Structure 1
Amino acid sequence: MNDSPLTRPDMLAVVQESAARVGFRMSCEDLTGTLLATLVASKPRGRFLEIGTGVGAGVAWMLSGMDAGASLTTIEINPLFHTAAAVTFVDDPRVEFVCADAGEWLREYDGDPFDLAFVDWRPGKFDQLDTLIDLLTPGGLYVVDDLLPQDTWPADHPERVDQFWAGWPRADMVATPMGWASGLLVAAKTSPARRIP
């Protein structure tokens, strides 16, 4: 079976050019992207969160699956990468780009819960996992990637991944590990979300 994406977002070529220009090497790969597009398409008018924008590959894939009433908030700490992504998608009102430390953003967030969170950076995956899961709706999806060894990993990263896996399974999530793409976990929340006052 050929598991290559059946379609690719039109904006992905622009994102890849931007990544080459700014020297960004860790873009969301196509297999992960096509899964994200499918998952967000299953939640009409959904509210979505991405932690770790990079230069916008994940954004391109998620927007390609979102309907007109859906919204995406994406967080990136690096101002150069943030700006590259924001410029690429400046004409799409469904996406909000935030340049911030994701850990601080998670601590300070006071809005409504999300229907899906894609975590491509350390906060919400290797720390503040409970904080992030609290922000998911009942049935909300939690998606993380980069769980299989890669040549871009720093020396201390395998230990972080081992500690991440030690926290699963969880009583409040139904989860499926996937030895596919860069190594994924897809989980659905089974308990109520915490509505922040």
Structure 2
Amino acid sequence: MTDEINQHFPRAYSRIDEATKASGFTMASDVQTCTLLRTLAASKPAGKFLELGTGTGLSTAWILDGMDADSSLLSIDNDPTFLKIAQRFLGDDERLQLMLTDGGEWVAHNRHQRFDYIFADTWHGKYLLLDEVLAMLNKGGLYIIDDMLPQPSWPDGHHAKATGLLAELESREDLLLTKQNWATGIVMAVRK
């Protein structure tokens, strides 16, 4: 067995990837992580999905590719330049709502919302407002984060933050957790 991807890529993937590279955006989720996001999305029929940190929409495309027709995805980012790329290539998908806003402000105003799947790919919902975002997770809902293995882009002191986050997640009684030393380092949790 290898990590080779022998299944189709999302229809807009190559165009988003090209636009991402041209834009200079360097924080996109890797393809291995994205295949997992798609597979897990398929496990939530008629699901309500949240992505914190759209970026240019690469991971968004994979999540959408796994979702069924009765599911919805709200994807949030605070950078209009990168969000425009996602809008250009994915904006015609009626299951998707792209929102330009600060993640912290959005969480503060939407604590009442509940989701079956949360991909926290930015500071909010991962290193900031973790409790608030986890409270938005339905019973049986998936919480997914990546970039938990050391990355070249990590600033000084970030390793301690990542280690602290893992310890906090592992101490929670309301989650079942799996850590994967694969791709960029993935953590998946399910609310009990």
TM-score band, normalised by shorter chain: over 0.9
Q: Deviations over 1:56-111 (max 9, x none)?
A: 01111001101111100011111111111111112111111011111111111155
Contact 2:111–2:136 under 8 Å retained in 1: no
1:22 paired to 2:15: no
Corresponding residue for residue 186 of structure 1: 188
Q: Paired residue for 2:3? A: 3
Corresponding residue for residue 50 of structure 1: 51
How many aligned positions are there?
190
Secondary structure at 2:40 match in 1? helix
Q: By how many angstroms is 1:18 displaced?
A: 1.2
What CA distance in whole angstroms lies between the structure 1 residues aligned with 2:51 and 2:123?
12
Q: Distance in 2 between matches of 1:38 and 1:80?
A: 28
Counterpart CA distance in 2 for 1:155 and 1:10 is: 38
Residues 145-189 of structure 1 deviation map (CA, whole Å, 9 limit, x = unaligned): 000111121223212112212203210000001100000100000
* Contact in 1 for aligned 2:111/2:132 (Cα 8 Å): no
1:94 paired to 2:101: no
**For the residues of structure 2 that align with 1:4 and 1:49, how far apart are their CA atoms?**
27
CA distance in 2, matches of 1:6, 1:45: 26
Counterpart for residue 173 of structure 1: 175
Question: Partner amino acid for 1:62?
Answer: I
Q: Secondary structure at the match of 2:128?
A: coil
What secondary structure does 1:127 align onto? coil
1:54 is aligned with what amino acid? G
Corresponding residue of 2:70: 69
Are residues 93 and 111 of structure 1, via their aligned partners in 2, closer, same or farther at CA, if it must alter by over 3 Å? farther
Structure 1 stretch displaced more, 114-123 or 159-168: 159-168
Unaligned runs of 5+ in 2: none
Q: Distance in 1 between matches of 2:111 and 2:94?
A: 21
The CA deviation at 1:134 is 0.6
Distance of aligned partners of 1:14 and 1:111 in 2 relative to their CA distance in 1, 3 Å threshold:
farther
Distance in 2 separating the partners of 1:28 and 1:42: 20
* Worse-matched range after superposition: 4-13 or 19-28: 4-13
Give distance in 2, aligned partners of 1:180 and 1:161: 16
1:193 is matched with which residue? Answer: none
Q: Output the amino acid matched with 1:171.
A: E
Residue of structure 1 equivalent to 2:159 = 158
Identity of aligned residues (%): 39
Segments of 4+ moved more than 3 angstroms: none
The residue matched to 1:50 in structure 2 has which SS?
A: strand
For structure 1, the 5+ residue unaligned runs are 191-197
TM-score, normalised to structure 2, is: 0.95
